[in-house]
């Protein structure tokens, strides 16, 4: 069993056994048939992953590794808010006729701000600090910008990263306001684990811990039977994560610079999505 499997199974059991049901409450998401999508949820879920020991990808079912990386590069490296720069269709329903998702995600990371050291966007500020002041306690990003929310087609779910160097290890906290556990939990963990590895390598550091803080960790009502079946499946050992060691510039990474060795996983399941 991979450690990511254990975390996922324990979290799902806790939500199902001890969570709060939103049935009958005023909720926003709906299913394709127009009925309200209720959830069972837990508040303030915190999961920790030691990236120096194991790559946190689940084996209960396949997590689309390359697509995860493509999206994180779209947001953090390309700083794009247009789905034409993305190689998957996961953002299609939130894009306008021109492909834009508004002033969300990558757009916010690409906005340049005035600092004492000069004009930089949030990503370049992180890279600058890790090079010039790595033990600072102020290395963080935030894309939940209230003044621009009315121009975002989707409010950011994973909205903040805080980086902290301990010794030669780069640790990070991912803050997420909302997490659809079945659809997106391991997806988010995988892509931000890759991000920590990337930033650590170009900063001359080693990847340490990723702490995932979720304000509202929920399982949708129609996902509960799927989750119950999933967490009873056979599990496998975590695969070995490989990243091209020759890349020293954050903006030179491509999807082809990453691979998993010996990734075994269970069969995929079809998941209805609430929007």
The rounded distance, in Å, linking the Cα atoms of 184 and 215 is 14
Tokens 């695969």 -> residue = 239
Selecting among 16, 90, 120, 157, the annotated active-site residue is 157
Residue 164 in marked binding region: no
The rounded distance, in Å, linking the Cα atoms of 225 and 246 is 45
Residue 225 · residue 101 · CB < 8 Å: no
Residue 192 in marked binding region: no
Give the helix ranges, DSSP H, for the chain: 3-18, 65-76, 106-110, 122-132, 181-202, 224-230
Q: Identify which of 217, 259, 266, 241 has the alpha carbon closest to the alpha carbon of residue 16.
A: 217
Three-state DSSP state, 114: strand
Q: Identify which of 181, 158, 162 has the alpha carbon closest to the alpha carbon of residue 170.
A: 162
Is 157 an annotated catalytic residue?
yes
Residue 137 in marked binding region: yes
Residue 274 in marked binding region: yes
Cα torsion at 14, 17, 20, 23 (round to 10°)? 130
Residue 53 in marked binding region: no
Residue 216 in marked binding region: no
Residue 87 in marked binding region: no
Give the helix ranges, DSSP H, for 81-180: 106-110, 122-132
Residue 218 in marked binding region: yes
Residue 2 in marked binding region: no
Question: Can you say which residues are annotated as belonging to the binding site?
Answer: 137-138, 177-180, 188, 218-220, 274
Report, as residue numbers or ranges, the catalytic residues: 157
């Amino acid at each position: 069993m991979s450690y990511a499997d254990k975390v996922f199974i324990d979290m799902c059991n806790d939500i199902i056994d001890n969570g709060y049901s939103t049935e009958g409450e005023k909720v926003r998401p709906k299913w394709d048939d127009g009925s309200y999508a209720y959830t069972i949820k837990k508040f303030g879920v915190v999961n920790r992953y030691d990236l120096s020991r194991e790559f946190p990808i689940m084996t209960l079912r396949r997590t689309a590794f390359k697509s995860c990386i493509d999206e994180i590069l779209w947001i953090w490296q390309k700083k794009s808010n247009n789905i034409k720069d993305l190689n998957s269709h996961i953002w299609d329903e939130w894009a306008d006729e021109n492909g834009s998702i508004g002033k969300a995600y990558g757009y916010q990371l690409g906005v340049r701000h005035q600092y004492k050291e000069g004009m930089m966007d949030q990503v370049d500020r992180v890279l600058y600090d890790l090079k010039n002041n790595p033990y600072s306690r102020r290395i963080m990003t935030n894309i939940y910008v209230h003044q621009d929310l009315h121009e975002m087609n989707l409010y950011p779910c994973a909205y903040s990263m805080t980086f902290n160097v301990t010794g030669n290890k780069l640790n990070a906290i991912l803050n997420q306001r909302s997490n659809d556990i079945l659809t997106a939990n391991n997806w988010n963990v995988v892509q931000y684990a890759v991000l920590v590895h990337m930033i650590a390598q170009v900063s001359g550091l080693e990847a340490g811990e990723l702490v995932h803080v979720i304000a509202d960790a929920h399982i949708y009502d129609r996902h509960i039977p799927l989750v119950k079946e999933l967490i009873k499946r056979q599990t496998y050992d975590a695969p070995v994560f490989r990243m091209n060691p020759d890349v020293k510039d954050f903006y030179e990474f491509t999807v082809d610079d990453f691979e998993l060795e010996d990734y075994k996983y269970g069969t995929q399941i079809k998941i209805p999505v609430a929007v």
